């Protein structure tokens, strides 16, 4: 039952992240189309994640890629890092915090390895 609860919670947080990311991406696009000086600045970011199985890390990468404005390019299981391309680097700390608070807890409940971070 605990895994079912974790899966449902993760699904809800993922849907919320999809909606918020879509809205933020639309705002970035419209802002850039109305003011060339405010064009988004893309970036590559390394995001550390807690130890989890390869399946959990792959699912985390997919969830990040499915949220608008981000694409997972690589998953380094040895370093527990995702290499992520972001549409706009304006709020990288918020992006990393969102991944850790929205996705990681549910994935750890389902796919955690029990290792220390």
**pLDDT number for residue 83:** 98
Q: What is the pLDDT of residues 25-72, one digit of tens each?
A: 999 888 888 887 788 999 999 999 999 999 999 999 999 999 999 999
Report the DSSP beta bridge partners of residue 52: 112
pTM of the predicted model, to two decimals?
0.90
**pLDDT number for residue 116:** 56
By CB atoms closer than 10 A (0-12, 13-18, 19+), residue 37 is exposed
Question: Does the residue 117 lie in any domain?
Answer: no
Q: Do 97 and 17 meet the contact criterion of CB atoms below 8 Å apart?
A: no
Q: Do 97 and 83 meet the contact criterion of CB atoms below 8 Å apart?
A: no
Question: Does the residue 46 lie in any domain?
Answer: yes
Q: What is the pLDDT of residues 64-99, one digit of tens each?
A: 999 999 999 999 999 999 999 999 998 899 999 999
Question: Does the residue 116 lie in any domain?
Answer: no
Q: Quote the domain boundaries for residue 11.
A: 2-111
**pLDDT number for residue 1:** 75
Write down how long the chain is. Answer: 117
């Amino acid at each position: 039952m605990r895994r079912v609860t974790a899966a449902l919670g993760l699904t809800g947080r993922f849907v919320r992240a999809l909606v918020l990311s879509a809205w933020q991406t639309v705002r970035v696009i419209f802002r850039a189309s109305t003011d060339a000086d405010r064009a988004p600045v893309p970036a590559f970011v390394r995001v550390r994640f807690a130890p989890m199985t390869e399946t959990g890390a792959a699912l985390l990468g997919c969830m990040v890629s499915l949220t608008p404005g981000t694409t997972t390019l690589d998953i380094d299981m040895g370093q527990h890092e995702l290499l992520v391309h972001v549409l706009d680097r304006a709020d990288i700390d918020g992006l990393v915090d969102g991944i850790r608070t929205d996705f990681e807890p549910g994935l750890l409940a389902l796919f955690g390895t029990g290792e220390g971070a």
